[in-house]
Amino acid sequence: MTEPKAHHPSDLVQIDAYRVLVDQASTEIGRKGDQHGRDSRQVQGPEVNVLSVVLVTQQPVQRSEGEHHHGEDGVAPGGDLLANLAHRKQVDQTEDTRHPAAQRTNTGQPQAGTPPEIIQRPQVRQIDRQQRSQCGDREMNQHRVQRMSGNRSAAMDGISELGHSALQWQTEKRAMRTGGLLKWTTLTLAVPWLSACGGPLSALDPASPMARQVANVWWGMFAFATLVLLVVSALWIYAMLRKPRAVSAEQASRINRQWIIGGGLILPSASIVVLLIFGIPTGRGMIPLPVDGEQPLKVEVTGHQWWWEVHYPDSGVTTANQLIIPAERLIDVHVTSADVVHSFWVPRLGGKMDMMPGRTNVIRIEADRTGIFHGQCSEFCGLQHTHMKLHVEAMTADAFDDWIAAREDFSVQQPASGAGGEVFANRCGQCHRVAGISEGNRAPDLTDLASRPSLGAGVIDNDAQGLRRWLREHKTLKFGNAMPAHDDVPPHTLDEIAAWLETLAP
């Protein structure tokens, strides 16, 4: 028997009585054109007219008719209703399931003039939750779109909520972007503060005319590099933000040629010319050119692993790890190396000069004020490269002359007493020179050791405690140095040697 279609609640009298549960409430037509908008906006709970319930014996349905084809007419059951309290498995009844509907005595037709047995306005969520397969032909049930309604009010509420979420997400994303930009801007501005623009080894704190010229070149290069960075960044931002425009192949080729010529040829060439204009006079000031009416002081500095040998050929004075110079006087430093490549560099007094084995280079420096400066080997030369420091002190001319005069004819008359003197003569004197005591030439000269500010080329302070610790722990304090360990020497003997070394001063 062909099942009639129910297109409106008024047509319920045409539905096959045995194909619909008698006690099931009448349903609403989902998303039909004649459905009022207020029905979907005002969701109410089930309204049950208990007095109008007609207790009719439930009639079984065929198993093949278990699916309600309301996907075609938009009708769906209302959910858990009062009729289900008597029997919740109405479709799965097994008695007389094959009896034709025509044999039933009760047609189940609604009586004229009588109210519906059960009237309910189910929530749309109930239909979606309880009816997993609402369409026999697998079509989409329109009730699953729960937010849509006739007057679109519910839909607008959902869209508003979605828009609020999107706006909140955009706000949070903008805040994160602003925070990241602030962080990177702070770090960029902090770079000059992190670059050590001052200090004893800073080339940007000059104390001589040569070093001042070097600093000027550096600042000029820094300013030019900053300008290039700003221009390139501005062009990059402009290229990212500008609206694209259509250009012909000929125009694109011409633009490419302009950028290649301008950015690849003209800009680098101009940069090199400007750098040479500033750099050539600076380099010329460090060259030991003859000066009318003034004779530069000659100092010979030899690099060793890892200490400095300083010799004044005019007076014959030799010292180690300290360079004493007169202020406001040109100094020509002749540098070489006894083993590997080193580099002489006193940042506040001038540029640096490599020290090559078998070759002598000359660099001119000048201190325009008195004070203590620091030098450092600036070419990696082995394990203790960091611990190869040079103490540089600029004195007045008279103080420098006195310093030289005190060492020209100075010699030590008395060796160390007791076992200390014997150990020094047999072991230490083979490498170290002490004027009047030993003639070793393989290690630092110790003739004026007591007047030096540090030991081991800046490793430890030269005081009573530091000197004794150096004799005992020099292999640990400066690993790799050539001086043998003194583990076999009794501590009191080392103390005797230390006491004697403290007297080695003019």
pLDDT for 351 equals: 85
| Residue 216 backbone dihedrals phi, psi, to 5 degrees | -65, -40
How far is 75 from 143, CA to CA, in rounded Å?
A: 10
| Distances from the Cα of 145 to the Cα of 67, 127, 140, 149, angstroms | 21, 11, 10, 9
Q: Is 130 exposed, middle or buried (0-12, 13-18, 19+ CB in 10 A)?
A: middle
| Distances from the Cα of 478 to the Cα of 150, 431, 484, angstroms | 89, 18, 12
Do 352 and 390 contact (CB within 8 A), yes or no? no
Among 314, 504, 327, residue whose Cα is nearest residue 404: 314
Among 101, 70, 90, 73, residue whose Cα is nearest residue 23: 90
Do 103 and 31 contact (CB within 8 A), yes or no? no
Do 82 and 53 contact (CB within 8 A), yes or no? yes
Q: 179-187: which pairs have CB atoms within 8 A and are 24 or more residues apart?
A: none
Q: Is 200 exposed, middle or buried (0-12, 13-18, 19+ CB in 10 A)?
A: middle
| Residue 317 backbone dihedrals phi, psi, to 5 degrees | -80, 135
The β-bridge partners of 75 are 29
Other residues' Cβ atoms within 10 Å of the Cβ of residue 30: 21
How far is 505 from 491, CA to CA, in rounded Å?
A: 24
How far is 23 from 59, CA to CA, in rounded Å?
A: 10
Helix (H) / strand (E) element for 460: namely: strand 460-461
- What the block records as the tokens of 209 is 């005319």
pLDDT for 53 equals: 41
The length of the chain is 506
- What the block records as the tokens of 410 is 């100075």
- What the block records as the tokens of 58 is 């439930």
| Distances from the Cα of 97 to the Cα of 66, 94, 386, angstroms | 12, 6, 100
Among 345, 325, 333, 432, residue whose Cα is nearest residue 388: 345
Do 474 and 456 contact (CB within 8 A), yes or no? yes
| Residue 171 backbone dihedrals phi, psi, to 5 degrees | -65, -45
Other residues' Cβ atoms within 10 Å of the Cβ of residue 324: 20
| Distances from the Cα of 368 to the Cα of 202, 260, 357, angstroms | 16, 47, 31
| Residue 85 backbone dihedrals phi, psi, to 5 degrees | -65, -30
Ordered DSSP codes for 183-196: HHHHHHHHHHHHS-
The β-bridge partners of 106 are none
| Distances from the Cα of 274 to the Cα of 176, 222, 226, angstroms | 42, 13, 15
Q: What is the CATH number of domain 418-501?
A: 2.60.40.420
Other residues' Cβ atoms within 10 Å of the Cβ of residue 218: 14
- What the block records as the tokens of 500 is 């004697």
Tell me how far apart the 2 most distant CA atoms of the chain are, in Å: 145
Written as tens digits, the pLDDT of the chain (506 aa) is 444 444 444 444 444 444 444 444 444 444 444 444 444 444 444 444 443 444 444 455 444 444 444 444 444 444 444 444 444 444 444 444 444 444 444 555 555 555 554 444 544 444 444 444 444 444 444 444 444 444 444 444 544 555 556 667 666 766 666 666 666 766 666 666 655 566 778 888 888 888 888 888 888 888 888 988 898 899 889 888 888 888 888 988 998 999 899 888 998 898 888 888 888 888 777 787 877 777 899 999 999 999 999 999 999 999 999 999 999 999 999 999 999 999 999 999 988 899 999 999 999 999 999 999 999 999 999 999 999 999 999 999 999 999 999 999 898 988 888 888 899 998 899 999 999 899 988 999 999 999 999 999 999 999 999 999 999 999 999 988 889 888 889 999 999 999 999 999 88
Do 77 and 27 contact (CB within 8 A), yes or no? yes
Ordered DSSP codes for 221-281: HHHHHHHHHHHHHHHHHHHHHSPP----HHHHHHHHHHHHHIIIIIHHHHHHHHHHHHHHH
Q: Where are the domains of the chain?
A: 1-151, 418-501
How far is 228 from 364, CA to CA, in rounded Å?
A: 34
Helix (H) / strand (E) element for 72: namely: helix 70-73
Which of the 8 DSSP states describes residue 100? -
